[in-house]
Amino acid sequence: MSDKHAKIAGPAQGAGRVPQADPGLKYRRLRPEIDRAVARVLASGTFILGPETEAFENEFASFLQIPHVIGVGSGTDAITLALHAVGVTAGDEVLVPAMTASATAMAVRRIGAVPRLVDVESDTRAIDPDLIERAAGPRTTAVVVVHLHGLPARMNEIISIARKRSLAVVEDCAHAHGAHLDGRKVGSFGDAAAFSFYPTKNLGCAGDGGAVATRSADIAARVRRSRQYGWDRNRVCMEDGFNSRLDEIQAAMLRVFLPHLNEDNAKRQMLARFYDAELAPLAKRHALKVQFHADGHVYHQYALEIEHRDRVRAALARRGIGTAIHYSPGLHRHPLFRDNGGGESAERGFPVTDRLANSLLSLPIQPELEPHRFKVISGLSEVLASGD
Ligand SMILES: *Cc1c(COP(=O)(O)O)cnc(C)c1O
């Protein structure tokens, strides 16, 4: 591969380039503390399910104000283990929004359940509460709600419909660490919630990691068993299990990052306000829509809707400005999930998901990238004005 290609394909780190996200910047900001934490774990000789993981579980539980947090191997695992723990079994149908990471639907398949895709609503970009009732069939036992881009879904409506239809609710909070609605953190509304600590998330580690949060002691106990071979306290297998554990090094790093989460989320919100204000005049002249605002939004992504998205994205890349797409295509267009959009949803199609999949563009919003904000806006203004 030539240097030129390496430059295009690799992370945009050269002079003047603005990456869409760069977890290394977060590490460098807190490097002495992180290095000490990692060294402490290595010296301790306890690498799996030790004091760091337990301390992190308690600290994250108190941050979320949810009694139980169980560290697991990834966000995908957290969704799978949460679904299993709330009682979803093979052959059950689980409602999943079509506009989400493929991991959300994949997590359903891994316990032999069948994802049933549902369109999202325009404002929140989360599963449309009005469609849940229509999509739920006799085999439907749960719904996974994704707080997309960090904006809380309409949980009150969703929970009341789910109760009426006896559906368990699992929140996919992979974008929404610290997001809140009506004074409550997301993750506390459903029967269980899944978090990912993938490096680019609002709370990320330096590898894979995840957690399940729940208010139920029974669900928590079930996740604790199934994350480790289905063992009970005496290491006796009581049921089928997985091996999905948050390791001590990741937990120790998460303990360094967690106390900074509120201030980092506040920086994301300030950056979003800046983009909102700067883009407002452009939005009038160009086909561009800024994101719906809510106080509890933690802006994992600042995702605009913009016409000619792919052309704009390429023009920004030529100016050294990295962007990303979360997500395209909609899950109903992935070959693996092609048959999962049946019934009423199929007749109606997925108009909102399709529109978003064709128009969403995520600008850099990571707190450490704040100094580049003017460059992002001037680049975007230039691209829109020139139409190149
Ligand atoms: C990142 C992500 C996941 C998966 O998390 P992993 O830790 O990568 O397994 C699930 N759902 C959403 C919405 C995500 O963004």
75 Cβ closer than 6 Å to some ligand 1 atom? yes
pLDDT tens-digit profile of 3-60? Answer: 333 344 334 445 679 999 999 999 999 999 999 999 999 999 999 999 999 999 999 9
Ligand 1 centroid to residue 84 C-alpha, Å: 17
Ligand 1 centroid to residue 225 C-alpha, Å: 22
Alpha-carbon distance of 359 to 288, in angstroms, equals: 9
pLDDT for 342 equals 65
175 Cβ closer than 6 Å to some ligand 1 atom? yes
Number of the ligand 1 atom closest to the C-alpha atom of 79: 10
Look up residue 228 and give its two tokens.
Answer: 């480790």
Ligand 1 centroid to residue 26 C-alpha, Å: 19
188 Cβ closer than 6 Å to some ligand 1 atom? no
Determine which residue's CA is closest to atom 2 belonging to ligand 1: 174
Q: Which amino acid is at 288?
A: L
Ligand 1 centroid to residue 107 C-alpha, Å: 10
Which residues of the chain carry a pLDDT beneath 70? 1-15, 342-347, 388
Number of the ligand 1 atom closest to the C-alpha atom of 78: 9
Ligand 1 centroid to residue 198 C-alpha, Å: 7
Beta bridge partner(s), residue 145: 171
pLDDT for 388 equals 66
Ligand 1 centroid to residue 14 C-alpha, Å: 28
Task: Select from 120, 145, 196 the residue to mutate for testing ligand 1; criterion: most ligand atoms less than 8 Å from CB.
Answer: 196
129 Cβ closer than 6 Å to some ligand 1 atom? no
Look up residue 295 and give its two tokens.
Answer: 């106080």
Ligand 1 centroid to residue 236 C-alpha, Å: 31
Alpha-carbon distance of 251 to 209, in angstroms, equals: 8
pLDDT for 285 equals 80
Alpha-carbon distance of 194 to 169, in angstroms, equals: 11
Alpha-carbon distance of 239 to 343, in angstroms, equals: 34
Please say whether the beta carbons of 68 and 216 come within 8 A: yes
pLDDT tens-digit profile of 103-151? Answer: 999 999 999 999 999 999 999 999 999 999 999 999 999 999 999 999 9
Full DSSP string of 125-184: -SB-HHHHHHH--TTEEEEEEE-GGGPPP-HHHHHHHHHHTT-EEEEE-TT-TT-EETTE
76 Cβ closer than 6 Å to some ligand 1 atom? yes
